[in-house]
Structure 1
Amino acid sequence: MAFAITNVGDNQKVEYATYFLKGESNYWWETTKALEAVEVITWDRFKRMFLDKYFPRYMQTQMDIKFFDLKQDNITVGEYEKKFTELSMFMGEYIDSEEKRAKRFQQGLKPWLKSRVAAFELTTYVDVV
């Protein structure tokens, strides 16, 4: 989001993001950057290295489980949408299109609501919400 607002291009994202690293995370980055065998570290590579360091696999697995177990149950659609949005930030390929995102959101709705929404055959997240 910040990149879109500030108009930061793909080739500047690593430099921009690492500027904000402080303390231990900055030390980690400086060491990691020095050890990399490439001159330019891509944004995708940086994200992977950062997540591996600060968001270990077991935590990623826990987030996956929470995301796929998320159901509306006894909360409002608004509360469900808020939780869905929070968890979806880490789901990448599972919801990397509007249609996938909409379908997954719809699957977690209360059964009676899900069946009514399904009748409209909506394909965008905003429309389903």
Structure 2
Amino acid sequence: MCCLDEHKVLMGGNVLHDEVDHWWGNAKQRLEVDGAIITWARFKREFLTKYFPEDERNRKVIEFMELKQGSMSVSEYAAKFEDLCHFALHYNTMEAEEDKCVKFENGLRPDIKQLIGF
């Protein structure tokens, strides 16, 4: 299902509550000066800047880059890998799919790597 940017912004704004809703009302006024359209990318950028500071995002990227299976099961490692992968933008492109697979396999325990021939 395809959703236009302006609809995403409307729906995103409608699910905000309390302090976040007040913040969005003020931010929307500021961003819509001179009739400017707020894109979904702009909405996300503003939201992340306010509620997910860059240093925290960077910590998540580092956590992803250093992720190893360790004592986790393969399914636990895969879930953690996918969760943290969202923060490493390079790995979220079609062009980087092979890099993502190599990164995943490289983080597996040696005994698991040997089983899959990596």
Superposition TM-score tier, normalisation by shorter sequence: 0.7 to 0.9
Partners of 2:86 and 2:92 within 8 A in 1: no
C-alpha separation between the residues in 2 aligned to 1:43 and 1:14?
A: 6
TM-score by length of 1: 0.76
Q: Is 1:22 aligned to 2:17, yes or no? A: yes
Residue-by-residue CA offset, 1:66-118 (whole Å, 9 max, x unaligned): 11111012221111011112212222233322333322212211234335546
Alignment of 1:11-90 (within 5 A): 11-36=6-31, 37=33, 39-90=36-87
C-alpha separation between the residues in 1 aligned to 2:88 and 2:117?
A: 23
User: Could you tell which deviates more after superposition, 76-85 or 9-18?
Assistant: 9-18
| Residue-pair matches, total | 114
Partners of 2:8 and 2:40 within 8 A in 1: yes
C-alpha separation between the residues in 2 aligned to 1:55 and 1:117?
A: 37
Structure 1 residue 8: Cα displacement: 2.9
Partner of 1:111: 110
C-alpha separation between the residues in 2 aligned to 1:72 and 1:10?
A: 38
Partner of 1:100: 99
RMSD: 2.0
Relative contact order higher in (CA < 8 Å, ≥ 6 apart): 2
Q: Which amino acid aligns with 1:25?
A: V
Structure 1: which 5+ residue stretches go unaligned?
120-129
1:83–1:21 CA distance, 2 compared to 1 (3 A)? same
User: Could you tell which deviates more after superposition, 56-65 or 31-40?
Assistant: 31-40
Q: Identity of counterpart residues, as a percentage?
A: 36
